[in-house]
Copies of this chain bind each other. A is one copy, B any other.
């Protein structure tokens, strides 16, 4: 046992260092051009797990959306009268409004100020701003630096380009024993924000990596790495029907990089297997968490949960979007992100997925009074049995036999015992082996209809 523990411990350390190593490698990817940046991110993650890249050219239609042009930046800065670069994209990629149009002109102080974005509440941060379509341009900078803009005229140089190109989607897949699928989905950003950008794909990749090590998975697993909104809508336009017919549960992996507590955002239907398993593990594992209903504000769960698809996709996050001030600013960086938070989240996701794997609806075979439990077969105690252990195991058996009536599944029964589905999986197996429980139907039939 000592051997095993230290082996686990050493694996834990490897994973831990992998999380931060991935973070550091992804942080170094040059931000100059959106397309290559995304592709390089996927290539880097692809060294840890197999990821297939699919390309969709600019203009590809999906419902009322189209794949946009690719954006790239060569240089961008603001010059004062002395030719000093007051704000320079090379200093920090957030200095430039994302998808800003190119421009080169002299502007008055008043006009310039209308195009400068700051966060007065976080005066030392550079906010992340994305152009809302249209012909807009702009720079982002620290609020306290506005005082430096005292001259009347400035030269603005944005040498950027919106051009035909492709949008890239990354996809991974593990074939399980059945075709029922569990989906994990993370966004790939052309920017190196830490928690709001990189934590999702890193944590998802580590879950993917750990699942690859398991054998005998009942479900198949699909991992998507997508640009937000346009990526998931395009994927749905091509594969939405497949997901609708196959998916048992899914989660958007986002904002999983820091914070002490979890936020679970339910799937649209609010009582899907995804919700049930996540809430079960959050409740039984004793971590602090809060639960919010599905809403059309947030991440790609907006699109997975849209009326036409209504997929059972929730989102299990640490401290979520609006709950931390550094969200989408330059302060969302390596200082903010926490290896411990990411690692714990990986483990919690795995607990949730293993709970779904081991979930089952059973029917007890002896239903007239409480069944007589054969001590020899069911109580695997060497030496003199300890009475507490006997009573605890008897309680688990009794609950499983009493409530396995075709309506309660293992999660339901574990909840009544204040245990997790994982905790009682062994007792299920023992009762099934002794002919006292029988699965009501296979997982493929049950999943998704809970």
Contacts and interface: CB of A to CB of B under 8 A. Distances in A.
Nearest to A370: B302
A236 B114 CA distance: 66
Interface in A138-196: none
A214 interface: no
A399 interface: yes
Nearest to A417: B295
B114 A372 contact: no
A186 B56 CA distance: 67
A80 interface: no
A306 interface: yes
21 contacts: A63-B368, A63-B369, A64-B371, A65-B369, A65-B372, A132-B375, A132-B390, A229-B369, A232-B369, A233-B368, A236-B368, A237-B369, A295-B399, A295-B402, A302-B402, A303-B369, A305-B402, A306-B369, A307-B364, A307-B402, A308-B367
Given A132-B375, A375-B133, A370 B295 contact: no
B132 A306 contact: no
Interface string A332-375: 00000000000000000000000000000000101111111001
Contacts of A237: 368-369
B64 A307 contact: no
Interface of A: 62-65, 114, 132-134, 229, 232-233, 236-237, 240, 293, 295-297, 302-303, 305-309, 364, 366-372, 375, 384-385, 390, 395, 398-399, 401-403, 405, 416
Q: How many copies does the complex hold?
A: 3
B308 A368 contact: yes
Nearest to A114: B384
A231 to B, nearest CB: 10
Contacts of A398: 296-297, 302
A390 B237 CA distance: 27
B64 A372 contact: yes
A119 to B, nearest CB: 11
A308 B366 CA distance: 9
Contacts of A233: 368-370
A296 B401 contact: yes
Which of A369, A375, A398 is packed against the most chain B CB atoms within 10 Å?
A: A369
Nearest to A367: B307
Given A132-B375, A302-B402, A416 B295 contact: yes
Contacts of A370: 229, 233, 296, 302-303, 306
A305 B395 CA distance: 16
A252 to B, nearest CB: 14
B232 A309 contact: no
Contacts of A395: 297
Contacts of A64: 366, 371-372
A269 to B, nearest CB: 11
A418 to B, nearest CB: 12
Nearest to A390: B132
A62 B65 CA distance: 65
A362 to B, nearest CB: 12
A263 to B, nearest CB: 17
Contacts of A364: 307
Nearest to A391: B297
B134 A375 contact: yes
A309 B405 CA distance: 12
- List the 10 closest pairs (A to B, CB-CB), nearest first: A296-B402, A307-B367, A233-B369, A296-B398, A303-B369, A308-B367, A308-B368, A63-B368, A64-B372, A306-B369
Nearest to A403: B296
Contacts of A367: 306-308
A398 B297 CA distance: 7
Nearest to A293: B416
A398 B296 CA distance: 6
Contact of A309 (B293, B295, B368, B385): B368
